[in-house]
């Protein structure tokens, strides 16, 4: 009995559902169900029936969650595809590679909507990377903000990068032709 209690104590501090912790949880819920049944028989109160149903649902959900965690751990142990040539799948040309050695390797992802949805997501991610690289290379923000009549406030320090909350609409700074004055 002391070995079980020691194992239970250490399993509390171990991540994930350990067999000892699941055994103790199931034993506790079984004892609770037996107590609620005895109280239901003794008092004939519907409250104990309701508590028993709630307790049973919680017991089932804990075991379901532990089973899902076990499945996730097994899937994590499976080998992951080393790399994915995105230029062939996204219709990219050979002159501009889709990935560089500094970018993360793509892993297979489950997306509802099938392969077309996955390709669309990957294409938009590639476009965003290319636009970001172009902005960084030029050192300027693209014309989308200027065309919308939006300017960027400077932070407390010179050259400090701001956040989206620092963008504000400038009233009256655009002429009728739509150009920023």
User: What is the rounded CA–CA span in Å between residue 74 and residue 82?
Assistant: 18
pLDDT at 155: 52
pLDDT at 109: 55
In a domain, 13, yes or no: yes
> Is the pLDDT at 48 greater than 60, yes or no?
yes
Boundaries of domain holding 121 = 81-142
Shared domain check, 15 and 73: yes
Shared domain check, 106 and 67: no
Choice between 151 and 12, residue whose per-residue pLDDT is larger: 12
Q: Which residue from 11, 26, 76 is spatially nearest to 56, judged by alpha carbons?
A: 26
For the stretch 2-34, pLDDT in tens is 999 898 899 889 888 899 999 999 999 999 999
Which range, of 39-43, 62-66, 165-169, averages the lowest pLDDT? 165-169
In a domain, 168, yes or no: no
For the stretch 63-85, pLDDT in tens is 999 999 999 988 888 765 544 55
Domain count of the fold of the chain? 2
User: What is the rounded CA–CA span in Å between residue 127 and residue 104?
Assistant: 16
In a domain, 156, yes or no: no
Shared domain check, 95 and 67: no
Mean pLDDT, rounded, for 111-129: 70
Shared domain check, 31 and 67: yes
In a domain, 149, yes or no: no
User: What is the rounded CA–CA span in Å between residue 8 and residue 69?
Assistant: 19
Of 77, 111, 134, the one marking the end of a domain is: 77
Shared domain check, 65 and 6: yes
Q: Give the H or E element holding residue 49.
A: helix 46-77
Q: Which residue from 132, 120, 129 is spatially nearest to 89, judged by alpha carbons?
A: 120
pLDDT at 76: 86
Of 51, 77, 103, the one marking the end of a domain is: 77
Shared domain check, 46 and 85: no
């Amino acid at each position: 009995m002391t070995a079980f209690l020691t194992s239970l104590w250490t399993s509390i501090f171990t991540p994930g559902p350990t067999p000892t912790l699941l055994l103790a949880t199931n034993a506790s819920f079984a004892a609770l169900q037996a107590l609620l049944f005895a109280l239901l028989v003794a008092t004939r109160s519907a409250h104990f029936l309701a508590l028993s149903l709630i307790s049973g649902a919680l017991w089932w959900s804990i075991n379901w969650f532990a089973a899902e965690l076990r499945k996730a751990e097994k899937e994590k142990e499976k080998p992951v595809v080393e790399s994915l040539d995105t230029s062939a799948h996204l219709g990219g040309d050979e002159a501009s590679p889709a990935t560089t050695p500094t970018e993360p390797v793509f892993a297979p992802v489950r997306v509802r909507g099938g392969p077309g949805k996955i390709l669309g997501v990957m294409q938009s991610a590639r476009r965003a990377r290319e636009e970001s690289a172009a902005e960084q290379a030029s050192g300027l923000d693209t014309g989308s903000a200027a065309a919308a009549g939006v300017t960027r406030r400077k932070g407390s320090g010179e050259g400090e990068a701001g956040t989206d909350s620092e963008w504000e609409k400038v009233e009256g700074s655009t002429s009728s032709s739509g150009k920023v004055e």
